[in-house]
Amino acid sequence: SITEHSPTAEHSPTKKHELTFCDTGTLQSPIDINVATCKTKDFPPVTFLDDILFNSEIQYENNCETVKITLIDKTLKPKVQGGALAPGSTYIVDNIHFHWGTKNTEGCEHTIAGKKFPMEAHMVLYKNTSKDFEDALHKKEVAVLGFMFILQAHPNEALHAMVANVTEILQPHTTFKTSGKSLVFLKDYIGSGFYTYTGSLTTHGCAEGVLWTIFKKDIPIGKTQLIIFHDVIGEDAEELQNWRAIKPYNNREVYQSTF
């Protein structure tokens, strides 16, 4: 079961949704990854076991909290394995969503040796022994793959399709159905080196027991491409910013891959 702590209203000036109840435990996310004290472990790379995510119809949604990407056919289960994920287990992709800010100097949730990035994507996975994401949350079988974006002057052609799809959902509570091809760029990053630790969701109760993987290879994003995310409109015409500030390390170990 989920480690439960008495929830308190956590007030962060940077994230509107922290005004709602969140966990106050000792395994919260995000953290600043202390690269200097990371222990190294001989992990295999993370891999996609199939191309279901890229060959199927997907939906981009502006739910007024984030841009959330899901498969339209809920019976399709894209599979991921490796890395720090439980050996011998496969994990199913539940959704991909993004965290960003209101300016180019912030927006990521995790920081690496104190360094901030303008955006972070989360690929949310659940172990195939769970029925769905909610079931996995209770069983502590949720894992999240985090991809950091780094700003560059010129657009990244590999992100063109994804960004074009986001322009279709700038208005609050809108959806756009399209091909999973727009996510193919992720294949170039999922096999990179990574950091891993145990933390929490960063919204919606911030339940603990989530296995985090943060890839070391940043995804370049052009300034005009990041503007599209900054232009996503929230409830009541609000400018969205949806990153949670870093939380204490406490006694946690963060491991890194040998590569």
User: Within 10 Å of residue 171's Cβ, how many Cβ atoms?
Assistant: 10
Binders of ligand GRE in range 22-81 (CB under 6 A)? none
- Single out the residue of 122, 127, 140, 244 in contact with Zn ion (rule: CB under 5 A): 122
The nearest distance, CB 37 to ligand GRE, in angstroms, is 24
Binders of ligand GRE in range 183-202 (CB under 6 A)? 201-202
**Cα–Cα dist 121/60, whole Å:** 14
Is residue 122 within the footprint of ligand GRE (CB under 6 A)?
yes
Closest CA to 214 of 90, 95, 108: 108
Binding-site partner at residue 125 among Zn ion, ligand GRE, none, CB < 5 to 8 Å by type: none
The nearest distance, CB 243 to Zn ion, in angstroms, is 9
Binding-site partner at residue 201 among Zn ion, ligand GRE, none, CB < 5 to 8 Å by type: ligand GRE
- Single out the residue of 85, 121, 124, 162 in contact with ligand GRE (rule: CB under 6 A): 124
Token pair listed for 124: 């949310």
**Cα–Cα dist 195/37, whole Å:** 12
Q: Per-residue contact track with ligand GRE, 99 to 118, x per CB under 6 A?
A: --------------------
The nearest distance, CB 146 to ligand GRE, in angstroms, is 8
Complex with ligand GRE: residue 28 or 203, whichever CB lies closer: 203
Q: How far is CA 10 from CA 20, 100, 108, 239, in A?
A: 7, 19, 19, 21
Is residue 144 within the footprint of ligand GRE (CB under 6 A)?
yes
Q: How far is CA 161 from CA 35, 52, 226, in A?
A: 33, 18, 13
Q: How far is CA 89 from CA 34, 81, 179, in A?
A: 28, 7, 28
Q: Which helix (H) or strand (E) holds 149?
A: strand 142-152
Binding site for Zn ion (CB under 5 A): 122
Binding site for ligand GRE (CB under 6 A): 122, 124, 144, 201-204
